[in-house]
Structure 1
Amino acid sequence: MGMEQENKKPEDFAIIEKAIMSFVDRYPGQLSPNDLAEWLGMNSFALQEICNRWAGVSPNKFVQYLTLAHAKECLAETEDGMANVYDAGLSERGRSHDLFVSVQTKTLGEWKQADQNLFIRYGWHSSPFGDCLIAVTDRGVCGLAFALAHGRSATQEILFRPWNARCIIENPKVTSPFAKCIFYDGGEVPVVLRGTRFQLQVWQALLRIPPKKLVSYGGLATAIGKPGSARAVAGAVARNPVSWLVPCHRVIHQTGSISGYRWGPSRKRAILAWEACKGGASIRAAGVHPMR
């Protein structure tokens, strides 16, 4: 995604996440970057360095992307021109550091027999958003999750629960090239989605939301031709098995509030702020088709 891996430090995200939690707890009170640095137990220069390294912007700029006003503004811009937004999400390939997601889909019924012979390999890797769990089949990435506060085993249990695979093996050597491509180098990543017909419809719609754009659950329901089904859409969004690549983080409440992310609301805020700061790199759908 256009990031130089060697310039990133694994502990940066922990500090960023703590800063976000502090900001959210105190907003709409006036919390300056200096106040934030003091609360984090560091000087303002150290916070400046971390923000520049992680997000590419100053702390002053970074906190602007955490506000309710910014979320509402993005939401209003998107839902005023929903058709144009979805067209942008399917635009042609551009920068070499963009990440293109090529998706194959199957319904749960179609997977039933295939599950008996399915091998899943997984591994844990560093990412800009903390420890990341990536799972792959011979067809591509079937799961992507982030570490929960109460441990990796809890994350693995959630991610693998829907699968009735014959064998699930930890093999980070297999998943490492995927992690490198997804978070650092860009390129095309094959993704395998397995769900109900409705879930697949929602997840495919998520792929059409471009970076720096936000959609409400109701807006997404309308976009797939099911107005009034915001609650059902929210359920499908929550069950997205391939976080980040299928950008469920770009769906928020109509009020502009940010919650409902399986891997933590602070992480969702961090991802959205990171996308707003970076601007250049993006995830785009290279194609969606039924698996044969």
Structure 2
Amino acid sequence: MTDQSHLPGPDTPEGSYHYAVMRRAIELIDARADAPPSLEDLAAEMRMSPAHFQRVFSAWAGVSPKRFQQYLALGHAKALLKERFTLLDTAASAGLSGTGRLHDLFLRWESMSPGDYARGGAGLSIRYGWGDSPFGEILVMATDRGICGLAFVAETGRAAALTDMAARWPEADLREDGAAIGPLVADLFRGAGAARLHLIGAPFQIKVWEALMTIPTGHVTTYSEIAARIGSPRAVRAVGTAVGRNPVSWLIPCHRALRKSGGLGGYHWGLPVKRAMLAWESSRAEAL
């Protein structure tokens, strides 16, 4: 496994800074798809020296800017689907849903009772706080039993992200508590240790989320494959909706679900975030 000690931690602004640079790079690469910009051109657009820009890319992606452009290209999702499509039954039987998943935390999870779901979280105390990640600022929410919400803020802003997540538990008691949330954030993107999840959702949604957790890092699957895996092969549209309602993005890797055509599909926290996640994971899978 590669050394990830250089990755930004939750107590520094480096992750958000690097993501902001990556987001601008994605826009520039898309705008010049027919003539990919050189390192010097990208650096100039970012108002950085080529050397500084190279360091930022390497610190975030682990590969050179030139190589990383291939991962950011619009056609990367199709190539990923062709080369690293994961049959969920195979992944599950190989133990990839546990500690064998590349760079992933070991996840222990339980779902809230049907009564909690029906009552909209009444009686639950949920703490929340803000942290940093390789994909910009994040909002993390937790009950006493584990993390129940994780949102990416870069494309939506804090207010919209908090409103969105709070609406999933309309009757819960939400309180900002950065001191309590900080330790939970610390290891989320370092690929070490374990995380406890406390999920709220309808039974169908829980099945979809459980299937998503079997997709190994650096691989992808399709909405139709997920539908087949959970025994509802005709429910592709419903699967897509459940994927979009995933309350703990990244930990339940909904960004690894693609359309059968290889299209990215949607992403609740913005397609630039999804593309950056897939590219970031691909670069690390290549580095092994």
Name the CA shift for 1:173/1:261 in 2 (closer, same or farther; >3 Å).
same
Q: Is the 8 A contact 1:3 1:183 kept in 2?
A: no
Q: Percent identity, aligned pairs only?
A: 39
- 1:1-292 mapped onto 2 (5 Å cutoff): 2-4=4-6, 5=8, 9=14, 10-79=16-85, 81-88=87-94, 90=96, 93=99, 98-106=104-112, 108-112=114-118, 115-184=121-190, 186-279=192-285
Q: Is the 8 A contact 1:71 1:256 kept in 2?
A: yes
Q: Distance in 1 between matches of 2:148 and 2:70?
A: 34
Q: CA deviation at 1:35?
A: 3.0
Q: Is the 8 A contact 1:78 1:214 kept in 2?
A: yes
| Structure 1 portions without partners, runs of 5+ | 283-292
Q: Count the aligned residue pairs.
A: 282
Q: Distance in 2 between matches of 1:281 and 1:115?
A: 42
- Relative contact order (alpha carbons < 8 A, sep ≥ 6): 1 or 2 greater? 1
1:78-122 C-alpha deviation (Å, 9 max, x unpaired): 447553234346365359964111110135445445833210000
Q: Which residue of 2 aligns with 1:286?
A: none
- Report which stretch shifted further, 75-84 or 265-274: 75-84
The residue matched to 1:102 in structure 2 has which SS?
Answer: strand
Letter in 2 for 1:225: G
1:171-213 C-alpha deviation (Å, 9 max, x unpaired): 0110101100212362110001111111011000000011011
The residue matched to 2:200 in structure 1 has which SS?
Answer: strand
Name the CA shift for 1:259/1:34 in 2 (closer, same or farther; >3 Å).
farther
Name the CA shift for 1:140/1:165 in 2 (closer, same or farther; >3 Å).
farther
Name the CA shift for 1:148/1:179 in 2 (closer, same or farther; >3 Å).
same
- Report which stretch shifted further, 64-73 or 94-103: 94-103
1:4-63 C-alpha deviation (Å, 9 max, x unpaired): 446972411101111112222332543333332233333322221111111111101111
Q: Distance in 2 between matches of 1:280 and 1:160?
A: 38
Q: Is the 8 A contact 1:3 1:185 kept in 2?
A: no
Q: CA deviation at 1:222?
A: 1.8
Q: Distance in 2 between matches of 1:36 and 1:239?
A: 35
| Structure 2 portions without partners, runs of 5+ | none
The residue matched to 1:116 in structure 2 has which SS?
Answer: coil
The alignment's C-alpha RMSD in Å is 2.7
- Report which stretch shifted further, 139-148 or 43-52: 43-52
Q: Is the 8 A contact 2:117 2:202 kept in 1?
A: no
Letter in 1 for 2:208: V
Q: Distance in 1 between matches of 2:39 and 2:287?
A: 26
Q: Distance in 2 between matches of 1:192 and 1:110?
A: 11
Letter in 2 for 1:179: V
Q: Distance in 1 between matches of 2:232 and 2:82?
A: 20
Q: Distance in 2 between matches of 1:37 and 1:266?
A: 19
Q: CA deviation at 1:228?
A: 2.5
Letter in 1 for 2:195: V
Q: Is the 8 A contact 2:120 2:172 kept in 1?
A: no
1:60-84 C-alpha deviation (Å, 9 max, x unpaired): 1111112344322321234475532
Letter in 1 for 2:64: S
